[in-house]
Amino acid sequence: MSEEQETARVRAEALEPDFAERIESLAARLGLNLEGEADFALQLGGDGLQLLQLGPDSPGPVRVDFVEGAAAHRRKFGGGSGQMIAKAVGVQSGIRPRVLDATAGLGRDAFVLASLGCEMTLIERQPLIAALLEDGLARAAGDLDVAAIAARMRLLNGNAIELMRGWQGEAPQVIYLDPMFPHRDKSALVKKEMRLFRPLVGDDQDAPALLEAALALASHRVVVKRPRKAPIIAGTKPSYALEGKSSRYDIYPKKKLGA
């Protein structure tokens, strides 16, 4: 855990009186205060749950929305199974692998794969981000257009390495990893989610152990998303990579996916 994580203070607050009881319950579950000095606010209102960095340099609130905005645009116009992420995990005609997204974040990549028909399990270890995901999935479940997609997404909150090592039941065919990378290029901090989450999450210093656990569990392949010029994760080397403009997917195949 980084020093930033230890000192980041978060309070919970209702944006409207009707949500006071729900935010109190959530605050108790997450161990958050309802008042006092804070660096972040977890807020609940009519549009759902959101996380806001407080202060003059705030990038604005972040919430998970699978119904409208960027997720809806990508679902309708993103390129379907021709997208690079789909190719990376092995989506083909008649093949929709069971995928574990072990570093779920805001769930965007998992939603893309679920919209293509993959059964998804998501792991998010940061409780606040997991709460945003849980809220986004609950709202998606109530929307006619995306309820069937949300039903293919199962969320687990916990340490991905421990959960993979102690996995119960059928192993995922594909494990997808997108660990937080220690960026040195300041332009990489432009995305407000990165600016917001870095003090809370820090970098994934345990990425090699994450990859090792994934390789031990996945039945068919492991896929690691990286910034295009970033080094590979230490340990086993990928067999090949798919490269885009800003990202690449390192592929660790174990067995051929079949229909």
CATH code of the domain containing 191: 3.40.50.150
- Tell me how long the chain is: 259
Q: Would you say 178 is a known binding-site residue?
A: yes
Residue 116 has pLDDT above 50, yes or no: yes
Q: Does some domain include residue 58?
A: no
> How far is residue 128's CA from residue 27's CA, in Å, rounded to a whole number?
10
Decide if 259 is inside a domain.
no
| Backbone φ, ψ for residue 164 (5° rounding) | -70, -40
Same-domain pairing of 97 and 48:
no
pLDDT band for 100, please (50, 70, 90 cuts).
very high
Query: Residue 79 domain-assigned?
Result: yes
Residue 217 has pLDDT above 80, yes or no: yes
* Same domain membership, residue 79 and residue 16: no
Lowest-confidence region among 56-60, 135-139, 204-208: 204-208
The more confident residue out of 4 and 67 is: 67
Based on the structure, what is the number of domains in the chain? Answer: 2
Whether 258 maps to a domain, the answer reads no
Give residue 255's pLDDT band: very low, low, confident or very high (50, 70, 90). Answer: very high
- Whether the pLDDT of residue 3 is over 50: the answer is no
Contact 190, 196 (CB under 8 A): no
Same domain (yes/no): 144, 192? yes
- Average pLDDT score over the chain: 88
- Residue 145 marked as a ligand binder: no
Do 126 and 15 reside in the same domain of the chain? Answer: no
Domain around 24: 3-53
Q: Binding site annotation covers 125?
A: yes
Q: Is 109 annotated as a binding residue?
A: yes
Instruction: Give me the pLDDT at residue 71, please.
Output: 74
- Is 124 annotated in some ligand binding site? yes
Quote the pTM value: 0.90
Both 152 and 245 in one domain: the answer is yes
Same domain, 49 and 150: no
- pLDDT band per the 50, 70, 90 thresholds, residue 259: confident
CA distances (Å), 213 to each of 147, 163, 164, 167, in order? 31, 9, 6, 10
The answer to whether 149 touches 113, Cβ cutoff 8 Å, is no
